[in-house]
Copies of this chain bind each other. A is one copy, B any other.
Amino acid sequence: LTTPSLIALDWGTSNLRASLLDGMGHAIETRSAPGGVMAVKDGQFSAALLALCGDWITQFECPLIASGMIGSRQGWKEAPYLDCPATLAQAATQLTTVPIDVIDSGKPLRPLHIAAGLKCIDAGGEFDVMRGEEIQIWGAGLLAQSCCVLPGTHSKWAWLGDSGGGGEVSHFRTFMTGELYGLLTQHGILGRLMDFEAAKSAFQKDEFAAGVRLGLRGHSQMSHTIFAARTAGLMGRVVPAGLPDYLSGILIGAEIGGATLDAKPAGGVTLIGDDALCIRYETALEVAAIGARRAPDGTTTRGQWLIAVAAGLVRAAT
């Protein structure tokens, strides 16, 4: 069972993370490097990949699958965006294949299969896109008719369709919450009144929750509502150490308010993401009276494994 069966790459904007999976799809070993799409120069993706796990590739000769921004226009090769509703089975038939360059002669290597992203069109005719998160959604094995949230630089809210087993992504929406927080605090005027050093020592939960309440109430005029992170500082209602989490709360509250405009998810939401962000979203969703549960860890690897199986790249051990 511990026979290496698949090399699964989570290849994003900043990082490249490789997992060597056994015949059940469990990780035997995991490695990562800051070799994300933005860090690789002149299209040297083969070299970046071989530097991280060339030994696995030559030694085990397993199939390779990748998901994330590596399939974007700035990545190795642009993989398509599948239309929603989209299932894992459909994605498995749409892998984009790139050869891996062999540098020191040697025998040819197996190619890399890059998973497609998803796109959807909202009621107003605007596109939305995701690339990588769909793998996590499928990997989380969600119920039919459920809703999940992947917090991050660009948070994704996704609604699952009728087919169970995490099968069908019906539609989704991106919220630029994390990016806005970074821009406003690092480069904007709101950051000037903030004490980041003091804020770092602990999650300022009360200020965060106050921000969430404000964001939920004021999401319809968000570019006004965020200004409260300045006036609350000017008027001494929130101390400088509390302002970063107050703003974080406003932005996440506005996200939740906007995402649940049509209806609150009846069965609550499933959170997929890292621990620190999930704690914030759990707190915020509680303020919004929306139930939240966490997906198990390892959704990316699990989703990659399931696609590789569905594509016939590997056969699951039974």
Contacts of A226 in B (CB 8 A): 176
Q: Specify how many copies of this chain sit in the oligomer.
A: 2
Contacts of A230 in B (CB 8 A): 129
Q: State the CA gap A183–B154 with chains docked (Å).
A: 16
Assess whether A223 is in contact with B184, with CB atoms less than 8 Å apart: no
Assess whether A234 is in contact with B174, with CB atoms less than 8 Å apart: no
Total contacting residues, chain A, CB less than 8 A: 47
Q: When the two chains form the complex, which single residue of B174, B217, B232, B237 contacts A227, counting CB atoms closer than 8 Å?
A: B174
What per-residue 1/0 map shows which CB atoms of A147-189 lie under 8 Å from chain B? 0000000100000000000000000011111011001101111
What per-residue 1/0 map shows which CB atoms of A209-236 lie under 8 Å from chain B? 0000010011111111111101110110
Q: A127-B231, A258-B220, A258-B222 are in contact. Are A183 and B187 (CB under 8 A)?
A: yes
A104 interface contact, C-beta 8 A: no
Assess whether A218 is in contact with B187, with CB atoms less than 8 Å apart: no
Smallest CB gap from A222: residue in B: B222
A261 interface contact, C-beta 8 A: yes
Q: A126-B231, A127-B228, A183-B187 are in contact. Are A177 and B220 (CB under 8 A)?
A: no
A48 interface contact, C-beta 8 A: no
A41 interface contact, C-beta 8 A: no
Assess whether B183 is in contact with A224, with CB atoms less than 8 Å apart: no
Smallest CB gap from A226: residue in B: B176
Q: State the CA gap A251–B226 with chains docked (Å).
A: 14
Assess whether A129 is in contact with B234, with CB atoms less than 8 Å apart: yes
Give A residues with C-beta under 8 Å from B. Answer: 73, 119, 124, 126-129, 154, 173-177, 179-180, 183-184, 186-189, 214, 217-228, 230-232, 234-235, 237, 251, 254-255, 257-259, 261
Apart from A126-B228, A154-B227, 4 more pairs, CB < 8 Å: A179-B188, A179-B189, A187-B187, A224-B255
